[in-house]
Structure 1
Amino acid sequence: MVRRDPARPIITPEQIPPSRPDVEVIGAFNPGAVRVGSEIVLLIRVAERPLCPDPEWVAFPAVRPGARGVEVLRVRRDNPDLNLADPRFVFYRGQMYLTSISHLRVARSSDGVHFQVDPEPTLLPEGPYEWYGLEDPRITPLEGRYVIAYTSVSHLGVTVSLVETEDFRRFERLGVIFPPSNKDVALFPERVGGRYVALHRPSDLTLGQPEMWLAFSPDLRHWGEHHHVLAVRPGRWDGVRLGASGVPFRTPAGWLSIYHGSDGTRYGLGGLLLDGEAPYVVRGRSEEPILLPEAPYETEGFFPNTVFTCGTVPEEDGTLRIYYGAADESIAVAVTTVDEVLASLEPTVS
């Protein structure tokens, strides 16, 4: 049903110039995606880490409260206070650091496969809520401009912020809309019942599961009337965690979206159909994933066994392009049709 493009992957870290001479790009992945006229525009998450030529040492970025800019900490690998069990994090002397810091960068394509990546970062971390980077953007065309929800990470926690643009050259930050701990926010491309709508994924360390919720807003800044939308299914492909991936888009059957799920060993993608007028009501979901990590660039890499999308592009002819991060390292694209995804969903009885 979902067909990977033969040019896979379409963007790799080697194609991205680093933002400064003392860092290297280790990941270009999880792009937001949108059609803008005759082009498809991606907003890529670019992960960079400090260069460290000595294999007996580890270098990692650090931003301390009150400090200006990014510091580089260097620690010997045999230091007993160092824990490198997870490739995404460094635990040193009781403190957690990220192994890399991400910024966002624009890429453009006329055919949806061959992209020209901007040589400079588009959005760099700015302010106390972004000290550890900007991650996983989702682009929504909304009322004449493009509104981008992204994960903003800092010592204060994992929050969700908005930025808007009309041309992907000039941007206006709107600030944090969901406090810690939250992520996976996808804004609907039109109001429902006169209000803006967003899917989001709060996380609680004591009760509950990492599951999908929905909220309404009169102005994109103040969110409320939260509804629980989608639960994990223990023992299934989405049994440990799940969240919104692509921006929902309207079909005759309702709001269709691609969501991600994990069973604890891999991340896959499935389809989700929400009611057209009451979008917190689920009308259908994938019993089996429509895309799982199978290709070598999906099963091997920085975070193996991962396919994760933040950008789907529905075309006028019914084609659905899915731009996804592979193993938190590179970008690939798969193609299906809206009708195929809808036909694959298992209807949900309310």
Structure 2
Amino acid sequence: MRDYQLRRLFDQPIIQTSDVKPTFAGFEVLGAFNPAACYYKGEILLLLRVAEAPPAEEGFILVPLIDEQDGELTLTIKRFPEPAEPYDPRVVTLDGKVYLTSISHLRLARSQDGVHFTIDEKPFLFPARMDESFGIEDARITFLEGKYWITYTAVSEHGPGVGLAVTTDFETVERVGMILPPPNKDVALFPQKINGKYMLLHRPMVSEIGKPSVWLAESTDGIHWGNHKFLFGGRGQATSAPSTEAFAWEGGKIGAGPEPILTDEGWLVCYHGADATHAYALALALLDTNDPSNLLDRSSIPLLTPELPWEREGFFPNVVFSNGWIQWPADSVNAGKIWVYYGAADSGVGLAELVQA
């Protein structure tokens, strides 16, 4: 694999939480991050993950979610007494159930130059099914057969699964539904059929046995998926304290990022790894062009780690996470360049360029 580097184009975020207006009056935007990305009619489009929460009430925890009332699905705010013992302010267990204290949706942002974005004031895709009742997170966009396929993490009380929606114009969008049940996430579709099959990368979530890993699946219709194969996993230690061992940076978690890009060497895959302290980094893998189950190469060290203050401090600190990159078309001012949009500390969006050293 060529000697790639990820070089930040700016030392400041190009999108911050404060740039995004809340969907509902009185709600607070806690984070705008982890965007999907694509090139569409001369513009760069991002689908931001926007996390919102209702205003705080002293002595209580407020949980926003989609609930069914009188046969209709509606945004509901559940109210619980605040626990006396210390608790995670993002994920809490109340009355025997696990809840998120914010709800995420996908928000569209547009740019002519890929740097300065205009952000829609309303959601592009908001939770609207019970299997999305806790939120919609971390989308990927793949242009395939004349449509833009949007995969996303759909979260409910049953865990995170993978939803699919499609659009041709980014004005109307069709929900296809859940294509991989919980617990699963980090799905990236390949931008063309391979040997007559649709293919995707995904990350089953493990518990007592096994370690986080990236898997490959195939489909004849893009909806029903099978022939699942292990592709690669983290090479470091998952349960140790912070470590100096070589691959500790991907020993805790691992997952695919944006859609693979076809190069003359094979399919280039951007992926994230996290260590035992939940610090996230970005790396690359290379898959065989005609048989993506054949892993040809991968990074020995991360290409991007959280180093700047706004990457180290935020809603969830010490994170660089990408699920969106674009390769500029040949007729553009940045022809051939690969720009990587990444979420930083679950609070903003940074921009880097993938270059050969």
1:20 and 2:33 matched: no
| Matching residue of 1:253 | 265
What is the rounded CA distance, in whole Å, between the counterparts of 2:346 and 2:209 in structure 1? 28
CA contact (8 A) 2:282 2:305 kept: yes
Note the 1:55-134 alignment, pairs <5 A. 55-64=58-67, 68-77=73-82, 79-80=83-84, 84-85=87-88, 87-134=89-136
1:315 and 2:303 matched: no
Q: Cα deviations across residues 117-176 of structure 1 (Å, max 9, x unaligned)?
A: 011111110111110111000000101110011000111221101100011111011111
| 1:213 alignment partner, one of 212, 215, 221 | 215
| Matching residue of 2:46 | 42
The aligned length equals 335
Q: TM-score normalized by structure 1?
A: 0.91
The list of structure 1 runs, each at least 4 consecutive aligned residues, that deviate by more than 6 angstroms after superposition, is none
For the residue of structure 1 that corresponds to 2:114, the secondary structure is coil
Note the 1:172-187 alignment, pairs <5 A. 172-187=174-189
CA contact (8 A) 1:83 1:90 kept: no
What is the rounded CA distance, in whole Å, between the counterparts of 2:87 and 2:101 in structure 1? 9
| Matching residue of 2:351 | 333
What is the rounded CA distance, in whole Å, between the counterparts of 1:37 and 1:119 in structure 2? 21
Change (3 A) 1:183 1:228: same
Give unpaired runs (5+ residues) of structure 1.
Answer: 341-350
CA contact (8 A) 2:213 2:255 kept: yes
| 2:251 alignment partner, one of 239, 247, 265 | 239
| Matching residue of 2:197 | 195
Note the 1:264-275 alignment, pairs <5 A. 264-265=276-277, 266-275=279-288
What is the rounded CA distance, in whole Å, between the counterparts of 1:166 and 1:93 in structure 2? 43
For the residue of structure 1 that corresponds to 2:113, the secondary structure is coil
CA RMSD of aligned residues (A): 1.7
For the residue of structure 2 that corresponds to 1:298, the secondary structure is helix
What is the rounded CA distance, in whole Å, between the counterparts of 2:236 and 2:94 in structure 1? 33
CA contact (8 A) 2:252 2:273 kept: yes
Give 2:253's aligned amino acid: R
What is the rounded CA distance, in whole Å, between the counterparts of 1:320 and 1:264 in structure 2? 30
CA contact (8 A) 2:327 2:338 kept: yes
Shift of 1:62: 4.0
What is the rounded CA distance, in whole Å, between the counterparts of 1:303 and 1:264 in structure 2? 15
Task: Calculate percent identity across the aligned residue pairs.
Answer: 44
CA contact (8 A) 1:133 1:153 kept: yes
CA contact (8 A) 1:163 1:173 kept: yes
What is the rounded CA distance, in whole Å, between the counterparts of 2:206 and 2:274 in structure 1? 17
| Matching residue of 2:305 | 292
| Matching residue of 1:345 | none
Give 1:300's aligned amino acid: E
Note the 1:221-236 alignment, pairs <5 A. 221-235=223-237, 236=247
Q: Cα deviations across residues 39-76 of structure 1 (Å, max 9, x unaligned)?
A: 10001111000112x45443232445667423223445
Shift of 1:335: 1.2
Give unpaired runs (5+ residues) of structure 2.
Answer: 238-246, 330-334
| Matching residue of 2:171 | 169
Give 1:248's aligned amino acid: P
Shift of 1:241: 1.4
Give 2:300's aligned amino acid: E
Shift of 1:275: 0.5
For the residue of structure 2 that corresponds to 1:129, the secondary structure is helix
1:141 and 2:107 matched: no
CA contact (8 A) 1:90 1:98 kept: yes
